[in-house]
Amino acid sequence: MVLADINGAEAAAASLAQAGQSVLGLCANVSSGASVSAMVDTALQRFGSIDILINNAAVLQTLKLTKFEELSLAEWQHVPAVNTIGVFLCCRAVAPHMRARKQARIINIASGTAFRGAPFLPQLKPARPAGKGPQGLARN
């Protein structure tokens, strides 16, 4: 198992390893193609294959409540970069390896917040392609 996150993956992996799990913790930024490629390459080197990808990255807990007109462009762009582009980059990076093996699963997890909105978090709503989030990239 590979746990990847921009913060804390190594500590979480160490905790699971102490419980007897074969796990690797990696620092990865899913909004960066280079970081995602490195993550996938490291996973393949360590485990030899990728059987399941779970896209669960999100930034909701790191967002500060902001009025729309006070939101910076960088804050606006950060949400879709992680929540949507990150899903695309991870799926694209593992797809050739999964297709070659003719078996694998991709699980995309998204918050329902984008469907109902949240006060002072306007950047969440448009971060979902066609209002469907990662599910817009998947067969449900």
The pLDDT tens digits along the chain (140 residues) read 999 999 888 988 998 898 888 999 999 999 999 999 999 999 999 999 999 999 988 776 677 777 888 888 988 888 888 888 999 999 999 999 999 998 889 998 876 665 666 665 555 555 555 445 555 555 54
DSSP string covering 25-87, please? EEE--TT-HHHHHHHHHHHHHHHS---EEEE----GGGPPP--GGG--HHHHHHHHIIIIIHH
Strand, helix or coil for residue 40? helix
The residue type of 58 is A
Residue 126: per-residue pLDDT: 58
What dotted CATH number matches 2-137?
Answer: 3.40.50.720
Is the whole model's pTM more than 0.95, yes or no?
A: no
Residue 26: per-residue pLDDT: 95
